[in-house]
């Protein structure tokens, strides 16, 4: 992998990992959207995924590292199973940079009446900003608290079902802190609406990552969103129901061909333990730096475009560049 040349120090800020701040150029291969710990959440949807087998997860992350992975973004916000203490322990034990998030997931992953969904926009914003600047709630008592490195929010299928105060709180926290925002979309739905919503609330699309967009493989839309400034995250490599062979892989080729590999971030989003190699005999976290990278190279995609899609783009966005 070619080394990125650093812009002047005042143009970027360090990436906030669970073990402390590091320069963005040291992130290496980075999974832009994954899950390495989810505590069970009493009262949540019983079908919600749980990832709490410490030794297997640690070994899975080690396999990721051995395959060439250096960093990953954990996309579980607080209140729906995130455990910042475990994330710090896993990062330390497996030797991979983990970047945790604040924000909110879909409401089905929380206990009923979770406080955040009844909170005002101001209170939500204050909470997100505090997790970014001082401590994840559950790590506040540690001698060295863990801090969030980005904001992750989730859209429901319908805009009006998405909690509006929390959504506005996320725009305010992003504006105040300059943090990157990853946005879960339901199969790519509402992506254009949310990008405009953030811009109307003072947050440039150059701070946004729109997730699961390969479930809506419309190359014209993707090109437009990329030119608007958003990063598009793709992650259905091992989800046959989304026909990755004909959709995702074609889309990657189209984006590279259009010169837009600088606006694509690849991930494997393995919240279900069955997808882990160490737990479910699945493809596992190592597939991104392994099989997927290998296949990208085999398609004749340039080293530079591969580097961008496998970490370079997300690293720059975390650092507030672009
Ligand atoms: Zn996810």
Summarize pLDDT for 30-84 with one digit per residue, the tens: 999 999 999 999 999 999 999 999 999 999 999 999 999 999 999 999 999 999 9
Q: According to the model, what pLDDT value does residue 9 have?
A: 59
Q: According to the model, what pLDDT value does residue 2 have?
A: 47
Mean pLDDT of 295-316: 98
Tell me the CA–centroid distance for residue 184 and ligand 1, in Å. 7
Tell me the CA–centroid distance for residue 35 and ligand 1, in Å. 6
For all residues of the chain together, what is the average pLDDT? 96
Tell me the CA–centroid distance for residue 250 and ligand 1, in Å. 22
Residue 8: pLDDT band with limits 50, 70, 90: low
Q: According to the model, what pLDDT value does residue 215 have?
A: 98
Tell me the CA–centroid distance for residue 33 and ligand 1, in Å. 6
Which tokens hold the place of 28?
A: 């290496």
Q: Which residue has the tokens 């209170």?
A: 123
**152: pLDDT strictly greater than 80:** yes
Tell me the CA–centroid distance for residue 103 and ligand 1, in Å. 13
Distance of alpha carbon 275 from alpha carbon 182, whole angstroms: 22
Mean pLDDT of 201-209: 97
Mean pLDDT of 298-305: 98
């Amino acid at each position: 992998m070619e080394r990125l040349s650093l812009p002047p120090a005042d143009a970027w800020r360090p990436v906030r990992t669970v073990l402390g701040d590091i320069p963005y150029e040291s992130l290496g291969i980075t999974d832009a959207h994954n899950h390495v710990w989810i505590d069970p959440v009493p009262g949540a949807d019983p079908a919600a995924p749980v990832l709490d087998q410490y030794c297997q997860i640690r070994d899975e992350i080690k396999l990721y590292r051995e395959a060439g992975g250096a960093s990953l973004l954990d996309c579980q916000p607080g209140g729906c199973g995130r455990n910042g203490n475990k994330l710090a322990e896993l990062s330390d034990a497996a030797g991979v940079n983990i970047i945790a998030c604040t924000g909110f997931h879909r409401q089905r992953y929380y206990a009923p009446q979770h406080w955040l969904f009844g909170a005002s926009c101001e209170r939500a914003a204050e909470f997100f900003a505090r997790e970014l600047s001082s401590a994840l709630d559950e790590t506040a008592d540690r001698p060295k608290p863990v801090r969030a490195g980005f904001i992750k929010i989730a859209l429901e299928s319908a805009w009006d079902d998405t909690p509006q105060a929390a959504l506005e709180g996320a725009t305010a926290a992003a504006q105040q802190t300059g943090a990157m925002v990853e946005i879960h979309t339901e199969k790519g739905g509402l992506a254009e609406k949310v990008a405009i919503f953030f811009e109307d609330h003072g947050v440039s699309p150059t701070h946004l990552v729109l997730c699961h967009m390969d479930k809506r493989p419309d190359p014209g839309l993707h090109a437009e969103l990329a030119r608007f400034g958003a990063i598009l995250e793709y992650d259905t490599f091992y989800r046959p129901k989304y026909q990755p062979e004909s959709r995702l892989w074609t889309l990657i080729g189209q984006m590279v061909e259009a010169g837009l590999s600088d606006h694509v971030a690849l991930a494997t989003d393995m919240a279900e333990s069955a997808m882990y190699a160490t737990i479910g005999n699945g493809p596992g976290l190592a597939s991104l730096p392994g099989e997927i990278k290998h296949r990208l190279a085999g398609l004749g995609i340039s080293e530079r475009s591969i580097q961008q899609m496998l970490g370079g783009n997300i690293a720059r966005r975390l650092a507030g560049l672009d």
